[in-house]
Amino acid sequence: MVGTTQDTRPKFKVRMLKLHRTLAWLGFAALLLWGGSGLLHSWLTLFGVQQAVFAAPQRELNLAKALPFDQILAKAGVEKAAAVKVVVGEADNLLQVTEQALQARRYFSLETSAELPNHDKVYAAFLARHYLNLHYENIRSIEWIDQFSDDYHPVNRLLPVYRVSFDRDDGLNALVYTETGALAGVSNHTKQRVQTAFQWFHTWSWVPNMAETPRIVVMGVLVGALVLMSLTGLSMLILIRRRTRAAGAKGWHRLAAYVLVLPVFMFSFSGVYHLLQHGWPNNQSHLALNKPMQLNQFQFPVHAEWATLTDKLVVSGFSLIADEAGTTYYRLALPLPKGQVPTDPQTIRNARFDGIQATGPALYVHTRTGEPWSQGDRELAFQLAAHHTGLPREAVQSATLITRFGPDYDFRNKRLPVWKFEYGAPLNASVFIDTATGVMADQTLNSAKPESISFSMLHKWNFMFPLGRQIQNWTIAVVTVLSIVLLAGFGIRSRFR
- Per-residue confidence of the chain (497 residues) as pLDDT tens digits? 444 445 566 777 777 777 777 777 888 889 999 999 999 999 998 888 988 988 888 888 888 889 988 889 989 999 899 999 999 999 899 999 999 888 999 999 999 999 999 999 999 999 999 999 998 889 999 999 998 887 888 778 888 999 999 999 999 999 999 998 999 999 999 999 999 999 999 999 888 888 888 999 999 999 999 999 888 888 877 776 766 666 566 777 777 778 899 999 999 999 999 998 887 666 556 778 888 888 888 888 888 888 888 888 888 889 999 888 888 999 998 876 665 666 656 665 555 655 665 666 788 999 988 888 888 889 999 999 999 999 999 999 999 998 888 778 888 888 888 999 999 989 999 999 998 888 898 998 898 889 989 999 999 998 888 887 888 999 999 999 998 888 877 766 666 66
Distance, CA of 175 to CA of 165 (rounded, Å): 9
E strand segments, 169-292: 173-177, 182-187
Instruction: Give the C-alpha separation, 299 to 262, whole Å.
Output: 65
Residue 1, pLDDT score? 45
What is the pLDDT, as a whole number, of residue 101? 81
**Angle value at C-alpha 13, between 7 and 15, nearest 5 degrees:** 100
260 neighbors 27 (Cβ within 8 angstroms): no
Interatomic CA distance for residues 108 and 97, integer angstroms:
8
Residue 88's φ and ψ, nearest 5 degrees, are: -85, 105
Q: Do the beta carbons of residue 487 and residue 256 sit within 8 Å? A: yes
Q: Which residues contact 293 (CB under 8 A, 6 or more apart)?
A: 80, 81, 82, 84, 320, 321, 322, 326, 328
Residue 296: which of 99, 81, 66 has the closest Cα?
Answer: 81
Q: How many CB atoms lie within 10 A of CB 14?
A: 10
Could you tell me which residues come within 8 angstroms of residue 123 by beta carbon, excluding any fewer than 6 positions away? Answer: 87, 89, 94, 96, 105, 107, 178
Amino acid at 405: F
Kindly state the DSSP code that residue 16 receives in the 8-state scheme. H
Could you give the CA distance from residue 362 to residue 331 in angstroms, rounded to a whole number? 6
H helices of 322-468, where? 345-354, 376-389, 449-454
How high is the pLDDT of residue 494? 66
Q: Where are the alpha helices (DSSP H) in 64-211?
A: 69-75, 119-132, 189-202
Question: Are the C-beta atoms of 409 and 420 separated by less than 8 Å?
Answer: yes
Burial code of 110-130, b = ≥16 C-beta within 10 A, e = fewer?
beebebeeebbbbbbbbbbbb
Name the residue type at position 198: F
Return the pLDDT at 183. 92
Three-class secondary structure of residue 340 per DSSP: coil
**Selection from 411, 334, 360 nearest residue 51 by Cα:** 411
Q: Are 24 and 266 a contacting pair, CB within 8 Å?
A: no
Residue 33 CA to chain centroid, in angstroms? 25
- For residue 109, the cross-strand partners are 94
Q: What is the pLDDT of residue 252?
A: 72
- List the one residue out of 37, 28, 44 whose CA is nearest residue 199: 37
CA-based torsion, 484, 486, 489, 492: positive or negative: negative
pLDDT value, residue 432: 95
pLDDT for the residue 351: 57
Half-sphere exposure of 490 (CA within 13 A, CB side): 18
Report the candidate in 430, 406, 287 with the shortest Cα–Cα distance to residue 353. 406
